Structure 1
């Protein structure tokens, strides 16, 4: 099994830090200890989720994991194309520098492996028919 970790970009992590910091400071100033505990638990879960995104390739299957709430497995043979994107939609990707994987007939998923070239190379080694589409201008 080959595992690729997700890249983590400031565009994802900085807003999360700012929002949690503002609420955390507000909770401390107002002595709202229940809110403080809630924010600490929520922020721990958010950071765990962000830093646990992985893409695992084993045989003909690509498994995408994001924390404990998201797991998707797809056949590499079903992948039609891969293209770079900066699409900000919700996805199992901790960076805005992403790859859009088109599979089956109309399905897509966004991923952000740290080592994109190796990731694409491994997928194409399993399925040489995967088309790499240049970035749209």
Structure 2
């Protein structure tokens, strides 16, 4: 039976993205008023922000058939074989990843692979992975 974990969402991060997108547009409207270019730019930014918001709220991690499946909005990642996971560690790395929060964990797997994610309940998530593969070094226990 699959077990699904949703990404923790950092609303501060989402608000920052909103401000970066729309502050220049609002300032331009105040300075120059509305015109066709500003309306088209605004529509484009609304669509783009909707796409980003969808990715924030539809990021999920599913554990099924000894695989960790990661979905970020419309995108899916190659499943990770849980038997290949070596280590789970808390990280503050801000690199782009399928994580909608800065409260992140790093999963090292295979020979040199790693991925950063942000499950809402990272301790339960890591515990479930280690129940499947007891060889995983779970560094969240001490964090």
Please confirm whether the aligned pair reaches a TM-score higher than 0.5, indicating the same fold.
Answer: yes
Tell me how far apart the structure 1 counterparts of residues 140 and 67 of structure 2 sit (CA, whole Å): 24
Tell me how far apart the structure 1 counterparts of residues 81 and 12 of structure 2 sit (CA, whole Å): 30
Aligned counterpart for 2:48 among listed residues 26, 42, 46? 42
Q: If the length of structure 2 is used for normalisation, what is the TM-score?
A: 0.87
Tell me how far apart the structure 1 counterparts of residues 76 and 16 of structure 2 sit (CA, whole Å): 22
Q: Which is further off, 66-75 or 90-99?
A: 66-75
Name the counterpart of 1:4.
5
Gaps of 5+ in 2: none
Name the counterpart of 2:133.
127
Q: What do you get for the CA RMSD once the two structures are aligned?
A: 2.1
Superposition misfits of 4+ residues, deviation over 6 angstroms? none
Tell me how far apart the structure 2 counterparts of residues 33 and 74 of structure 1 sit (CA, whole Å): 43
Name the counterpart of 1:81.
87
Q: If the length of structure 1 is used for normalisation, what is the TM-score?
A: 0.90
Name the counterpart of 2:16.
15
User: 2:120 matched to 1:103?
Assistant: no
Count of aligned pairs between the two proteins: 137
C-alpha distance 134-51 of structure 1, shift in aligned 2 (>3 A): closer
Q: For residue 20 of structure 1, report the CA deviation from its aligned partner.
A: 2.2
Q: For residue 14 of structure 1, report the CA deviation from its aligned partner.
A: 2.6
Q: For residue 55 of structure 1, report the CA deviation from its aligned partner.
A: 0.3
